[in-house]
Structure 1
């Protein structure tokens, strides 16, 4: 079974979020968003997760007026936190199943 992945072009991304291509290049350079496809800017495609983090990054930059290096660090920490929460939820489900099977 093949998995369908939604891909968003740079032009669609820029139009949707109302940013310019230079900003896309900058956030990619800082690792805030990563294209899932393409070698050049015109060919880049992004997944919805990258768009989600890009929107958060732009909000942090504009609302808190922090530079892109700091934004990249904050986004990295938020991604780590999200991954840990997901792992914790899975472990809690496994533990609950274990306790149910023991009773």
Structure 2
């Protein structure tokens, strides 16, 4: 049962990232939001990505400690998590660029 829940959490993470990317794109294209709301929106997106990374690390730690995983599978799981790090950094860069354009 716990293994199924852990795998479901990883699936949830995989399904949640694309909508965040779409929301960031929509935020960048909106022209009628004040800077305050833009700043909050980017903060929410970054916190969401950070929480997803933390959740993924916790699930991977659980899976590696509870079940014998092959080294190749462990590497694949780590790469899937590491793939979120550039996305989070990219969101930070977008925030800086957005602040230069729309900020005070």
Return the index of the structure with the highest Cα Rg.
1
TM range (shorter): 0.3 to 0.5
Q: Name the structure where helix makes up a greater proportion of residues.
A: 2
Q: Structure with the greater relative contact order (CA < 8 A, sep ≥ 6): 1 or 2?
A: 2
Normalising by structure 1, we get a TM-score of 0.38
